[in-house]
Structure 1
Amino acid sequence: MTVVGFLIITPIAYSEMAYQKQISFLILQLLFLTLVLASANGNSLKLGFYLKTCPKAEAIVETVTADHISLAPSLAAPLLRMHFHDSEKSGPPNLSLRGFQVIDAAKTALEKACPGVVSCADILALVARDAIYQIKVVPLGRRDGRVSIALESLTLPAPFGNITELKAQFASKGLSVKDLVVLSGGHTVGTSHCSTIAIRLYNFTGKGDTDPSLDPKYVPYLKSKCKPTDTTTLLEMDPGSFRTFDEAYYTNVLKRRGLFQSDAALLADKETSAYVKLQAQSGGSTFFKDFEESMVKMGQIGVLTGSAGEIRKHCALVN
């Protein structure tokens, strides 16, 4: 919905081969995107941005989100994921996204209350906050981009990334190693398709083997749920509490039961491994506070503010 926004490791349903085949074309797209970003206004976001122009904006979004979540609690994870992805919804990693009706409903309500004031980018940030209620503050003031590039979504850190790749991708957006391990905790809610881990289960090195970083006692269970060519079955990313935003994700990672290679990669670095152990052994003593801080930090990367971009009338379309 915006031109940019940082994109975290999240469940996606395309293969590593398909991902790699798109990279060369993506580079051409990113060259154009760089020119767009260079023109972005550098004004900072702030709390209470709409107090004068649309005083009830945050309350309206909160009400709309609550109404939808009460009817479909499973939407919380997809809405959080949507904020992480924050890019053209026709991009390969975004084809399995859902919850757009919540964004559209919030936009409709806001356009009725204060036409042309609240951006879709800010609505997305607020909906993510309200879907995962621990996030108390979200600085606002984003503008919507006039350009949407589907292949921009391929800059998402992939679920098969190793720790070196992941650290480099986060660093390129000004995010720290701590941000990497904290935001990975978003995998405490939601599900992913079997196709995302098929290679990890059945052909990790091309010899019909399984990723050795997986707990061998957990592998039979995963294989019983996911056959090699299964593209429809969903797996819980945080088995037992996949609808609850808690620290259980880190317990699973420490047991070598993280669903993705990118989850297992957190044990391959001194700093990320230490954080995993801290949250797993302390019952998430700092996780909620850390997650709020990293989410706010992520939500301020590369945004358009001031007079740049536009305020879209419909979130799926440029004006």
Structure 2
Amino acid sequence: MAFNLAFLSSILIILSAFSPVITALSSNYYDKSCPNVEQIVSNAVKKGVANDRTVPAALLRMHFHDCFIRSGGPNWDVPKGRKDGRTSKATETRQLPAPTFNISQLQQSFSQRGLSLNDLVALSGGHTLGFSHCSSFQNRIHNFNATHDVDPSLQPSFAASLKNTCPINNRPKNAGATMDPSSTTFDNTYFKLILQGKSLFSSDQALLSLPKTKNLVTKFATSKEAFLDAFVNSMIKMSSITGGQEVRKDCRIVN
């Protein structure tokens, strides 16, 4: 299934339980049971994107959340057949890496799921799409620590614009900022912004904390092609995190 990220048609909605990475999926899983599924899903997602350009970011976020909790752009063959879980618990969202995580916390969160530092940096590139509410980066622009009100790693004029958008005593429900200026285009701008001190999250800036992850950020900022190749490989690897009990016949109810 050749898949364009603008369309993450993959996600073939999965609420899988968590277990280590396995390779039980296949690109032809539905060839006999539902041979037209790829076109059906692709058409539905493309229609959604035509109506709302934020759909790709939402789908990418959903896919990431699904794989971590229970369980145009680049093209790739999407492995299919992920198992659906039979339970869904809001408390399990605590397992997701937070935007305030430091590099040690990020590394631990990813390694527990069989994902490497390479995967961490590549998958973080998904932040090239979408929007963030103030609450996810408030810690960097107000009362950062005992010495600085604002995170000193933030570029000053960028920090000032964020403070203007998200004042400490005035927090409109929908206030926030796009992840990067080209927030509906899947590109490598995110990595360039990190190097410029213009990333939103502490977890983004944390990628510069280790020589290996900093080198990858620089590599992906320099080469969009290198980033896309790494992203595809890491998406396939992350998609293989599974552990559910069944492939849902009707996505709304358990079998």
- Report what 1:221 is aligned to: 161
Runs of 5+ unmatched residues, structure 2? 1-13
Distance 1:225 1:145 in 2: 40
- Report what 2:233 is aligned to: 293
Q: Which residue of the other structure, out of 168, 186, 195, is the alignment partner of 1:254?
A: 195
The aligned amino acid for 1:318 is V
- Report what 1:23 is aligned to: none
Deviation at 1:246, TM superposition (A): 0.1
- Report what 1:137 is aligned to: 77
Q: Which residue of the other structure, out of 142, 153, 174, is the alignment partner of 2:114?
A: 174
Secondary structure at the aligned position of 2:225 is classed as coil
Q: Does 1:45 align with 2:35?
A: no
- Report what 2:49 is aligned to: 69
TM-score where L is the length of structure 1: 0.69
User: Could you give the per-residue CA deviations for residues 134-179 of structure 1, whole angstroms, max 9, x where no partner exists?
Assistant: 2421101112111111111110000000001101111111000000
Answer yes or no: is the 8 Å Cα contact 1:159–1:261 preserved in 2: yes
- Report what 1:58 is aligned to: 38
- Report what 1:236 is aligned to: 178
RMSD after superposition:
2.3
Answer yes or no: is the 8 Å Cα contact 2:16–2:67 preserved in 1: yes
Distance 2:66 2:200 in 1: 23
Cα pair distance change 1:182/1:60, threshold 3 Å: same
| Structure 2 counterparts to residues 72-91 of structure 1, below 5 A | 72-86=52-66
Which has the larger displacement, 273-282 or 198-207? 198-207
Identity %: 39
Q: Does 1:268 align with 2:248?
A: no
Secondary structure at the aligned position of 2:50 is classed as helix
Deviation at 1:207, TM superposition (A): 6.5
Runs of 5+ unmatched residues, structure 1? 6-36, 92-120, 122-131
Distance 1:220 1:182 in 2: 29
Deviation at 1:87, TM superposition (A): 7.5
Deviation at 1:244, TM superposition (A): 0.4
Which has the larger displacement, 139-148 or 174-183? 139-148
Distance 1:281 1:248 in 2: 10
Distance 2:182 2:23 in 1: 40
Answer yes or no: is the 8 Å Cα contact 1:197–1:260 preserved in 2: yes
Answer yes or no: is the 8 Å Cα contact 2:82–2:242 preserved in 1: no
- Report what 1:313 is aligned to: 250
Secondary structure at the aligned position of 1:136 is classed as strand
Q: Which stretches of structure 1, 4 residues or more, deviate above 6 A after TM superposition? A: none
Q: Does 1:2 align with 2:15?
A: yes
Secondary structure at the aligned position of 1:55 is classed as coil
| Structure 2 counterparts to residues 18-29 of structure 1, below 5 A | none
| Number of residue equivalences | 238
Deviation at 1:216, TM superposition (A): 2.2
Distance 1:297 1:203 in 2: 38
Answer yes or no: is the 8 Å Cα contact 1:87–1:153 preserved in 2: no
Distance 2:63 2:219 in 1: 27
Secondary structure at the aligned position of 2:54 is classed as helix
- Report what 2:94 is aligned to: 154
Cα pair distance change 1:298/1:67, threshold 3 Å: same
Which has the larger displacement, 216-225 or 45-54? 216-225
Answer yes or no: is the 8 Å Cα contact 2:131–2:178 preserved in 1: yes
TM-score where L is the length of structure 2: 0.86
